[in-house]
Chain A
């Protein structure tokens, strides 16, 4: 062992949880080391949120240009030739964004004073690990450890990803050409976001979902506009269908993959160019020495057990983000990372969020914050609901955001009008979520929103109107 690096704070993993913890810890003047074997930024930045959104945006652009190429054009704009897709160029444009952000994160870490050590950490006791870096083995001993190892794609054991024919989301974001036929196993948010994008780019997409419906976390009303969009765009959705296996067939350039799945008691097959497997993510708790740390797992055994300050059972060892429990969302990880750095520095903090927003970037986008009507009723709340269609919102029409039936829905307690939840569906609707979360965190009443002026013409007016509707006096709705 050449060197023992001692530090106050050691962060394992530089994803959206770890790097935020690192920057905050550095800002607070603590001697901070952050260890990352991959590029800084984590799944979110390298092969998740950001690259998929780049691809989704490109696909939307491609689709809208295609519309102008139709016989009579669109909006009075027509172009004479079809848009051409160069998948490799799209991927390299996406990579340039990722690179830019990755360099940004590394610069921010450096600027805050945190030291980024590149390599995979391997723990031998709660506060000691070794890292194999390009410059040799570094041993690190820390006063506090923040575990932010994130999560990984779940493989189906009978059809493991080879990233050539059977892809994980990582492979789907690094295609060299557009597959003409794609099967997506798992109709959750990751599969559907990529499915929508591939469909817009021109792939023929089939979704194989084991449950009764796709995106089962959302209620029917909220799923409906997406289901209509999928239908209109020829995306085939098989529900109650279980993937059974995949076989690569053919030779050379004509190689295809044959997916077999069971539906209605019968095994069926589907020949496609690529199978995309998106059946969920699993916290990274293995193969880096977690078992030597004495850290307890939660009852399911999947996640590290933490309290409201992200403390594990081992003093001075914290866990944040995907590895510490649901929801496995980047913004939750970041918020926890910031908090834990502050706790270590001696500040009194607690993860007391009223709501963590969930957004699905399908077409249309879906946002859910707080309680849905069903969840509120399950808790015994008497509620009022206000639902306002985007079709009655001027700005939504000018943006064509209302298509397939988008809306904003607010759920409030009947007795005192405290807002309990807000859901929305529509193109570009994700950007509206900030007001929704703020309303919940501030403990807003329906009247607080009703008495707030929302600028015209914007889609945010639809939120105002949904609230007015719940109060029984929407202006632009019968």
Chain B
């Protein structure tokens, strides 16, 4: 019996650790080379790592949600023969990297009544010693996902990982209705379908917080519980800005991007930030020093299919509005596509969260730790406004902002927002 220690390979530039998102195997399983064994998530992507060898899984290092350092032992295999414990070269595994996660063969799924690791679906081929008189009895894969062949086929054809669904049938069996509900909830893990049958619902579906969701959750806790926030709301008359925006858009040359409000707000912030240095930079809890940055690196909160990302437009102070608009499109597009570089995802000194089309009157944005301030931009809409004793229609945009009250006083925060308001209401000032 030879044991083979498979170490977490280097799965991308600059990545030193990865989080176990899901195991495809459990201890005692017989695996073949290239069978998927584990999904590991890094800052940038989730990588399915294939088995480097044939063998039986002896131990798994780490639970779902654990961080595993590159180079540490991930799985120990019994390869059954005299073997080496040196992992194969990276080329063997890195082939799999760029592929988006395919619908997993037969994904492990914790059965509600038995939250134990998923059972193997591979038939452990019994090696009968000679004389080989007998056929090997096919083993069953019961214990993984419980679903009829038709349901399994439909899931595979629709690219749905049945391991993500909680079946509403007896013993957690996945039914067609569960897939309907999953699709209707656009991938949300749901229990019983809404009206497919009239049974009382009693299930509590446990969804493990892993991967990006866990990172977001940790970051939010750090921000919300270490930073005493104060929030400040203001409305801005963007009627003139809108006129300028329309004029620039209609006269721009074709190679230039269409301007939204955001590039104007970015340019305005970059322009006024030198007068509000307390709002731009980093403050690490407990080190007693505020790092006020002269460069204006604006984080742009971006909702993606995978969750919230904050790609960064760097050195906005050195850009013109077209450059700012182009770079904004680039970084947010990359974030949505999952192709952001590490550089594009780090280093912001101030964050803008645009609530965009969803509008809303106000929000209390949470500061992107270790930054000290965040600006929320709401949808502009036409409103009746009293001007010179007359009710007139003006275009109004609401701004919500939050500041770290440890290092920014209320008056200072308000001053930044009022300054920004003046710039946006008289947009020529942005460019002077």
- Which residues does A use to contact B, with CB under 8 Å? 154, 186-191, 209-211, 215-218, 278-281, 298-300, 305, 307-308, 325-329, 332, 347-350, 352-358, 368-372, 375, 379-381, 413, 415-421, 440-443, 445, 447-448
Contact = CB atoms under 8 A, between A and B. Distances in A.
A356 B103 CA distance: 23
A443 B105 contact: no
B147 interface: yes
Nearest to A299: B54
Binding site of A, secondary structure by majority: helix, strand, loop or mixed? loop
B390 interface: no
Given A379-B143, A420-B143, 12 more contacts: A154-B132, A190-B133, A209-B133, A211-B133, A279-B133, A329-B135, A329-B138, A352-B105, A352-B106, A440-B140, A443-B147, A445-B170
Interface string B125-160: 111101111111111111100111100110011000
A161 B130 CA distance: 18
A188 B142 contact: no
Nearest to B157: A348
A418 B121 CA distance: 15
26 contacts: A188-B135, A189-B133, A210-B130, A216-B134, A279-B131, A279-B133, A280-B132, A280-B133, A281-B132, A298-B32, A299-B81, A326-B138, A332-B138, A352-B105, A353-B141, A354-B140, A371-B139, A379-B28, A415-B114, A416-B113, A416-B170, A418-B143, A418-B146, A441-B149, A443-B146, A443-B169
A217 B133 CA distance: 9
B147 to A, nearest CB: 6
A397 to B, nearest CB: 29
A301 B399 CA distance: 69
B173 A443 contact: yes
B119 interface: yes
B148 A327 contact: no
Nearest to A417: B171
Interface residues of B, number: 48
B111 A216 contact: no
A191 B135 CA distance: 12
A300 B127 contact: yes
B34 interface: yes
Contacts of B148: 441-443
B140 A371 contact: yes
A416 B114 contact: yes
A358 B141 contact: no
A420 B132 contact: no
B176 to A, nearest CB: 13
A159 to B, nearest CB: 13
B349 to A, nearest CB: 47
B164 to A, nearest CB: 16
A347 B170 CA distance: 30
Given A307-B34, A447-B170, A328 B114 contact: no
Interface of B: 28, 32-35, 54, 81, 103, 105-106, 111, 113-114, 119-121, 123, 125-128, 130-143, 146-149, 152-153, 156-157, 169-173
A326 B135 contact: yes
Contact of A352 (B34, B152, B157): B152
Contacts of B156: 348-350, 352
Contact of B105 (A308, A416, A445): A308
Binding site of B, secondary structure by majority: helix, strand, loop or mixed? loop
A189 B135 contact: yes
A186 B133 contact: yes
A82 to B, nearest CB: 34
A305 B135 contact: no
A358 B138 contact: yes
A280 B129 CA distance: 11
Given A210-B131, A216-B128, A371 B138 contact: no
A27 to B, nearest CB: 18
A327 B138 contact: yes
Contacts of B137: 217-218, 327, 358, 368, 372
A279 B132 contact: yes
B140 A370 contact: yes
A357 B105 CA distance: 21
A371 B127 CA distance: 17
A325 B125 contact: yes
- Among B33, B111, B126, B143, the one with the most A-chain Cβ atoms within 10 Å of its Cβ is B143
Contacts of B153: 349
A441 to B, nearest CB: 5
Contacts of A326: 123, 125-126, 135-136, 138
Nearest to A375: B139
A190 to B, nearest CB: 8
A372 B136 CA distance: 13
Nearest to B141: A354
Contacts of B173: 443, 445
Contacts of A350: 105, 156
A358 B149 CA distance: 19
Contacts of B54: 298-299
Nearest to A347: B157
Contacts of A348: 103, 156-157
A326 B135 CA distance: 7
A233 to B, nearest CB: 20
Nearest to A423: B137
A415 B134 contact: no
Contacts of B146: 418, 443
Contacts of B81: 299
A308 B54 CA distance: 15
9 tightest CB-CB pairs across the interface, nearest first? A188-B133, A280-B132, A356-B138, A416-B171, A370-B140, A443-B146, A326-B136, A299-B54, A186-B133
A305 B34 CA distance: 11
A416 B149 CA distance: 20
B12 to A, nearest CB: 25
A420 B142 contact: yes
B134 A217 contact: yes
- Among A281, A332, A417, A441, the one with the most B-chain Cβ atoms within 10 Å of its Cβ is A441
A210 B132 CA distance: 9
Contacts of A443: 142, 146-148, 169, 171, 173
A210 B35 CA distance: 35
Contacts of A211: 131, 133
A215 B128 CA distance: 12
A178 to B, nearest CB: 24
Contacts of B32: 298-299, 305, 307
Contacts of B114: 415-416
Nearest to A306: B32
A375 B30 CA distance: 14
Contacts of A216: 128, 133-134
Contacts of B130: 210, 279-280
A478 B298 CA distance: 79
- Among B35, B113, B136, B142, the one with the most A-chain Cβ atoms within 10 Å of its Cβ is B142
Contact of A381 (B33, B128, B143): B143
Contacts of A417: 170-171
Contacts of B140: 354-355, 369-371, 420-421, 440
